Structure 1
Amino acid sequence: MNKPSTPTILILALAAAGLSYGGYLLGARAGAAGAHASPAPAPKTAAPKAAPSSGDKIDPATGRRVLYWHDPMNPGQRFDKPGKSPFMDMELVPVFADENASASTSAGAAATGDAGNDDGAGLRISPALRQNLGIRYATVRHAEVRDTLSLVGTTQFNDSTTAVVQSRVTGYIEHLHARAPMQAVRRGQPIATLFVPEWLAPQEEYLELRRSGNEALADAARQRMRVLSIPDALVAEAERSGKAQRGYTLTAPVSGIVTELGARESAMASPGMTIAKISAIDKIWLLAEVPESLVPGVSTGMTVHASFAGMPQRSYTGRVRELLPSVNPASRTVQARLELDNRDGALVPGMLMQVRLEGASAAHRLLVPTEAIITSGKHAVVLVADEQHGIRPVAVTPGREYGDDTEIISGLEAGQQVVASGQFLIDSEANLRAILPKFGDSAPAKGGVQ
């Protein structure tokens, strides 16, 4: 077999190189043509977001769709536009559509048991954040308390101890010892001296019969003087001195204050005429204003403790005398008439006093600190804590206040832990509206609220 010659091999090699170069050129031109051609549209993977309908509300600050606006302190009331809350002086807060969807998801997870370690708590607060916010817990407890009311009252004269100084005969006021109203007098102190001309003749006749020794006629003359209302003390003075007495002094029957003067010196006095009125002050009245809603808790005989700003260290004790059967239409209050012991005379009419009324018997009540209750006018809420630092709002029905505590009629049980301070800081974060939706879907920050 003959071997190919060297020229033949060179020719074949050149032919192969030419074919390779030609193929390269063709491929480069085809690629350039493909690059200038329009690309095919990619397949759609998701439908475009629909434009909001004409009824949608968009928050201009965030661009999020708003479902409605509400007051965080009264979340049950919804509004269709922003503005001031009619309940409190604050702006309404928007509720966004994505928050509502999150609420539905979290609520469904809680219903099916997929809420993780939430254990039904509204939110969780780490011990570090609790310390930073100053959150303090208190225990719901039963306690024996007395029904107590704190009121305001004004002192006045005790009309039941008012005495009247009157003239029994016709005469003239020779001297008035009590010169003006509001003068303090003691029992037996002279008030007025009367000159009674009709008493002179019977006294002289009686003295003459005594000197004559005619005892029978003297006794008859003495009975006549009694009929004429001549006081025995005046007759005794006439017997001692042997002279008819022209003047007679009226004295104060009680110690107290002259509240009224009905005569002046040299004026004529007639039978039944009031010379003066004197009010005793050893027992003084205190009129306290009781709101009509609290009237059922007030009864006669309740113990009263009263004090006034001038002597805060001094407390006066008394009792409820009666409830006056009328209501003040302006203040919607009923006046309770209280009687205080004022033997030292320190209390005078017109003084404003703080009053505390205590019931006769004690009762067991379920109590929480008053500061633990969050009120919004129509609703009352307490933040209840659990052992895993969880906090949830619970609607309660509060009753009466006992000092720093408030009775809970329904909503809580003895032994539960409630937030006694710092709850408004928690409320500002959770809004008491949808605590589970707001905090359940987001990853908690370390050492913060979950």
Structure 2
Amino acid sequence: MTDATTAVRWRAGILAAVLIAGGGGYWLGQRGQSDAPSGATSDGRKILYYYDPMFPNQKFDKPGKSPFMDMQLEPKYADEGGANGAPGISVDPAARQSLGMRVVAAELGSLAATFDVNGTVDFNQRDVAIVQARSGGFLERVYRLAPGDVIGAGTPIADLQLPEWGSAQAEYLSVKKLGRPELTAAAKQRLRLIGMPEGVIAEVDRSGRTGGRMTVRAPIGGVIQALNARAGVTLAAGQTLAEISGLGTVWLNAALPEAQAGSVQVGQRASAKLTAFPGEAFAGRVVAILPTAAADSRTLTVRIELANRGGRLRPGMFAVVALGGDAKPALLVPSEAVIRTGTRSIVMLDRGDGRYHPAEVVAGREGGGKTEILRGLAPGEKVVASGQFLLDSEASLTGLAVRPLDPAQ
């Protein structure tokens, strides 16, 4: 065998060995891939399912295109958290800093139950005077008054001629001349029974003359709401001549949301501010909480009585009323930490394990940027006060379970 032939055979053997080694490696690699666990990536991360970010609630077993949008399905890994993986939501430290996430602890404190509601000034319906004719007769004169006029107590309204009074006075003077005290007392009592004022009776006693003419005067000061007196008309006993509403005190009817109905009680102090008098507060107290609620606004009417010195408070004026009581102890968190979904309230907890966990709470009163937590939190637990809405959105996408309320809390 020549040296050339030996060299050719040597080269062919080396080439065959290389091909066999390459084919074996390829076969082993293919076998290794086929033996790899289903739902795992080359770096060992376990895939739970695939999903469309636009429709995160729909899960798919295999990768591919979304049937909803023209986009590839995204894998959901077990180490990203969620119901089937490690609980909680993990946020990169750099992302936390860029989001400005702030964590505060729930702490015991005092929260004043003071809140503002709107109201309007109205007449005090307990301070109303009705002026009537005590006996039948005639209306001789009406003084120059009209509805809406503000008058003082004792202002003359009308002059009446009452024939029944004249005859009763004449009878009284006749009995008085008899000198019999018991008959005189009975005749005087009859004058009182027909509605004659003590001043008129005293004038008859002093002068000894009868007079069926009487001037009707306003018993209180205030606003004339109605004036039915017209000169020359015939009057019946008990006929209304005028209606007067006093202005010494006024009512402030405030619209109280029914959710805060338990925070207000009769006798409670209140403070009102009116745009007509900037920088001035009017003190009053709650005199009534009306028993019915407005169906359209779901509010209760709180009636507050205010002193009206100088008659400055006029019915129809708008006011802002501060209602509430003394401060009460409560478990408090910043109001921005509470996520209200409409059906429940949620906070994002920071347990110190590098993850954030949603928890359901029952929120109570609010004031001064703080919210009272009635159930769902314990003192010292830390909640996210800023950036929590992004965490809540991520928790909804991943289907992360929310910590339920503890009946013992």
Q: Deviations for 1:15-66, whole angstroms, at most 9, x for unmatched residues?
A: xxx933455577789999999xxx96941242399999xxxxxxxxxxx932
Post-superposition shift, 1:253? Answer: 1.3
Q: Which moved more, 1:42-51 or 1:179-188?
A: 42-51
Q: How far apart, in 1, do the equivalents of 2:356 and 2:226 lie?
A: 67
**Partner of 1:123 in structure 2?**
91
Per the alignment, do residues 225 and 412 of structure 1 end up closer, same or farther by CA in structure 2, a change over 3 Å counting?
closer
**Partner-residue secondary structure (3-state), 1:179:** coil
Rg comparison, structure with higher value: 1
**Partner of 2:324 in structure 1?**
358
**Partner-residue secondary structure (3-state), 2:126:** helix
Contact 1:66 1:97 in 2 (8 A): yes
Post-superposition shift, 1:331? Answer: 3.3
Pairing of 1:204-219 with structure 2 (within 5 A) = 216=179
| Equivalent position amino acid for 2:285 in 1 | R
Alignment partner of 1:66 out of 42, 47, 51: 51
The CA RMSD measured in Å over matched residues stands at 4.8
* TM-score, structure 2 normalization: 0.71
Alignment partner of 2:126 out of 144, 148, 160: 160
Q: Deviations for 1:120-167, whole angstroms, at most 9, x for unmatched residues?
A: 8843545x953x544444442222334445433333222222111111
Structure 2 unaligned residues grouped into runs of 5+? 40-48, 61-67, 401-409
Contact 1:123 1:392 in 2 (8 A): no
**Partner-residue secondary structure (3-state), 1:99:** strand
Q: Which moved more, 1:263-272 or 1:391-400?
A: 391-400
Determine what percentage of the aligned residue pairs are the same residue.
32
**Partner of 1:406 in structure 2?**
371
Q: How far apart, in 1, do the equivalents of 2:152 and 2:55 lie?
A: 70
Contact 1:281 1:345 in 2 (8 A): yes
Alignment partner of 2:389 out of 412, 424, 429: 424
Per the alignment, do residues 217 and 177 of structure 1 end up closer, same or farther by CA in structure 2, a change over 3 Å counting?
farther
Per the alignment, do residues 104 and 254 of structure 1 end up closer, same or farther by CA in structure 2, a change over 3 Å counting?
closer
Q: How far apart, in 2, do the equivalents of 1:393 and 1:230 lie?
A: 80
Post-superposition shift, 1:358? Answer: 1.9
Post-superposition shift, 1:244? Answer: 5.7
Q: How far apart, in 1, do the equivalents of 2:346 and 2:192 lie?
A: 79
Q: Deviations for 1:256-300, whole angstroms, at most 9, x for unmatched residues?
A: 222222332322222111111111222222333334444344332
Alignment partner of 1:140 out of 106, 109, 127: 106
Contact 2:82 2:395 in 1 (8 A): no
Asked if 1:195 corresponds to 2:161, the answer is yes
Q: How far apart, in 1, do the equivalents of 2:15 and 2:333 lie?
A: 84
**Partner of 1:256 in structure 2?**
222
Contact 1:124 1:389 in 2 (8 A): no
| Equivalent position amino acid for 1:101 in 2 | A
**Partner-residue secondary structure (3-state), 2:316:** coil
Per the alignment, do residues 304 and 95 of structure 1 end up closer, same or farther by CA in structure 2, a change over 3 Å counting?
farther
Contact 2:137 2:236 in 1 (8 A): yes
Pairing of 1:5-154 with structure 2 (within 5 A) = 19-21=2-4, 23=6, 42-43=26-27, 44=30, 45-47=32-34, 65-66=50-51, 78=57, 98-103=75-80, 122-123=90-91, 125=93, 130=97, 132-154=98-120
Q: How far apart, in 2, do the equivalents of 1:80 and 1:258 lie?
A: 76
Q: How far apart, in 2, do the equivalents of 1:19 and 1:412 lie?
A: 94
Aligned length: 374
Q: How far apart, in 2, do the equivalents of 1:32 and 1:227 lie?
A: 142
Contact 1:123 1:435 in 2 (8 A): no
**Partner of 1:266 in structure 2?**
232
Post-superposition shift, 1:377? Answer: 1.8
Structure 1 unaligned residues grouped into runs of 5+? 1-17, 53-63, 72-77, 82-90, 111-119, 437-450
Q: How far apart, in 2, do the equivalents of 1:420 and 1:405 lie?
A: 11
Per the alignment, do residues 100 and 409 of structure 1 end up closer, same or farther by CA in structure 2, a change over 3 Å counting?
farther
**Partner of 1:375 in structure 2?**
340
Post-superposition shift, 1:366? Answer: 0.7
Alignment partner of 1:282 out of 248, 260, 263: 248
Per the alignment, do residues 241 and 138 of structure 1 end up closer, same or farther by CA in structure 2, a change over 3 Å counting?
farther
